[in-house]
Structure 1
Amino acid sequence: MTLSVAQHISCDEVETRANAARIFNIQRYSLNDGRGIRTVVFFKGCPHRCPWCANPESISPKIETVRRVSKCLHCSPCLRDANECPSGAFEHIGRDVTLDVLEREVMKDDVFFRSSGGGVTLSGGEVLMQAPFATLLLQRLRRYGVHTAIETAGDAPLSRLLPLAHQRDEVLFDLKIMDTEQARSVVAMNLPRVLDNFMQLVADGVNVIPRVPLIPGFTLNETNMARVLAFLLPSGIRQLHLLPFHQYGEPKYRLLGQEWGMRQVVPPTESEVAAMRQMAEREGFHVTVGG
């Protein structure tokens, strides 16, 4: 069960603190989310409502408290306090960190970055919701020569996106539903702004790698893929990452006391993914399945 309610907030109402950020996870030894061995920092808060989201704990910008039933001792009375719970059944999702603390945390893995050509990726949620902090963090990491990347859907004012994008080595940019009205109604996304921002990054010489989640019923179809390719072709970009839908996030919804609306959805078959890949390769794209 969850003891707090997710709050909808857009990237236009983003937290502007630069000295602290709210994160919910630091994932070490990741082989996705960029090249080499990476440490991924997950920022809390997202403006979108993707039905297929695998990280539902990332959506609310608030610190949430959850109860893991398997750990519960059923104390009576229950304090419902993560700081006092003797078994750790109650725990917080999300914590506030300063620049100095987070810099020290990720730089513990510097030996792996240098031996593998990896680095640090800022993900979410949506990192643009805490762009001032993220920009300063990347500036610090670049002083160490650490390869840096951000994962984003690009749905924020350009004034927030550009300073951050100019401090990284690559931007992993998600392109989802390519119909404007459907993107707004299903995901709460401002697609025209997303596409304009993507092209501005390209025009500025930013290394942008587009990624397409392959979601049955939403993006896993020839029409949506054709729109992605038609959009990308004038940019000159010929890399494309395809991210097939999976069910790995289902336990997180149960933990949060939320319904997983995609529970009955079957992940794409190899032939369905291959069909999308072949469409892109026929147009000259180098395709990677996975991120």
Structure 2
Amino acid sequence: MTLSAAPRISCEVLETRADVARIFNIQRYSLNDGRGIRTVVFFKGCPHRCPWCANPESLSPHIHTVRRESKCLHCAPCLRDANECPSGAFENIGRDVTLDALVQEVMKDDVFFRASGGGVTLSGGEVLMQAPFAARFLARLRQLGVHTAMETAGDAPLSRLLPVANQCDEVLFDLKIMDARQAKLVLNLNLPRVLANFRHLAASGICVIPRIPLIPGYTLSQENLQRVLAFLQPTGVTVLHLLPFHAYGEPKYRLLGRDWAMKGIPAPSADEVGALRQRAEQAGFQVTVGG
């Protein structure tokens, strides 16, 4: 597989007010984004360009419109307006939501949080692109007794990461390509900053859970895993989530009119995942596949 350079996008490209966020989805009844039954809020915008991204609609910070051919009535003339389309064929990806409205929306699921020990997880995209809002939103949820978590690559100034992490009961922290040059070239990711941020969170007593996406051609190797394990051992973190590659996001690329870089790449076999799990367990880690 040829490694190509990722487009450069700043983490500061989407600056909203602290009381308004741009999101593109709210997913209820999730079991894989923290403990218990979760409601996951997906934030729009990401500075990275992971070839395997399962949420390509999250990458742009802008609201944009897509057309679903299966719903289209081929009206003449076509207004190409998601708000006016009679069949719903035109759909806006992304919307702006106020802090109060989003709190009200997720608290509809409070009964499930309390029954299962679950809560709300912030995902994306990259949550840290909208850090001021995320910190305020999580603080409000904690005041209401809701368990909070976020998923992040951790690639932002510590001054942006820490206020959000301090409002999380769990930080689900992705560790991807562990070679700094390749991480920058392929993902547009500042690996030294990511690792420094992880160390800081772990040393601060924040519950940080490292996760490795197992991606053929990129991270699905004993070498990359060994680099992760060697990094984690001095931090005192002993849990590890392995996230095998899947192609569930491929239809989204077609909808967006984009090429899927991982087309035709099979998911890791049970034997491949099992070998990595065994290696991590032998090193003393408590391993979960999925997460």
Q: Tell whether the structures are fold-level matches, with TM greater than 0.5.
A: yes
Is contact 2:13-2:61 (8 Å) kept? no
RMSD: 1.0
| Distance apart, 1:8 and its partner CA | 5.8
Q: Is residue 42–residue 123 contact of structure 1 (8 Å, CA) maintained in 2?
A: yes
Q: Residues 247-290 of structure 1, C-alpha deviation per residue, up to 9 Å, x if partnerless? A: 10000000001111101101000000001101100100000000
Residue matched to 2:138:
138
* 1:94 match: 94
Matched, 1:209 2:204: no
TM norm structure 2:
0.97
Partner of residue 239, structure 1: 239
In the TM superposition, what whole-angstrom CA distance separates every residue of 1:41-66 from its partner, at most 9, and x where no partner exists? 00000000000000000100000100
Residue 168 (str. 1) matches residue 164 (str. 2): no
Structure 1: how far apart are the matches of 2:84 and 2:16?
Answer: 32
The residue identity in structure 2 corresponding to 1:226 is: Q
* Partners of 2:8 and 2:188 within 8 A in 1: no
The DSSP-based 3-state class of the residue aligned with 1:108 is helix
Letter in 2 for 1:82: A
Aligned to 1:148: 148
What does residue range 171-190 of structure 1 map to in structure 2 within 5 Å? 171-190=171-190
- 8 Å CA contact 1:14, 1:129 repeated in 2: yes
Separation in 2, partners of 1:252, 1:289: 25
* Gaps in structure 2 of 5+ consecutive residues: 1-6
* Inter-partner Cα distance in structure 2 for 1:116 and 1:245: 27
| Post-superposition offset of 1:13 | 4.0
Q: Secondary structure at the match of 1:109?
A: helix
1:4 alignment partner in structure 2 = none
Q: Which residue of 2 aligns with 1:264?
A: 264
Once the two structures are aligned, what percentage of the paired residues are identical? 75
1:65 match: secondary structure:
strand
Gaps of 5+ in 1: 1-6
Q: How many residue pairs align between the two structures? A: 285
Shift of 1:9: 3.1
Query: What SS is found at the alignment partner of 2:92?
Result: strand
Q: CA deviation at 1:114?
A: 0.1
Task: Say if 2:14 and 2:45, in contact at 8 Å, map to a contact too.
Answer: no
How far apart, in 1, do the equivalents of 2:137 and 2:9 lie?
A: 23
Specify the SS of the correspondent of 1:226.
helix
Counterpart in 2 of 1:49? Answer: 49
Query: 1:62-141 counterparts in 2 under 5 A?
Result: 62-141=62-141
Name the amino acid aligned to 1:35: R
SS at match of 2:100: helix
Query: How far has the Cα of 1:70 moved from its partner?
Result: 0.1
Tell me how far 1:12 sits from its aligned partner. 3.9
Letter in structure 2 aligned against 1:129: M
Corresponding residue for residue 36 of structure 2: 36
User: Alignment partner of 2:149: what SS?
Assistant: strand
The residue number in structure 1 matching 2:24 is 24
TM superposition outliers: structure 1 runs of 4+ over 3 Å:
none
Contact 1:40 1:121 survives alignment (8 Å): yes
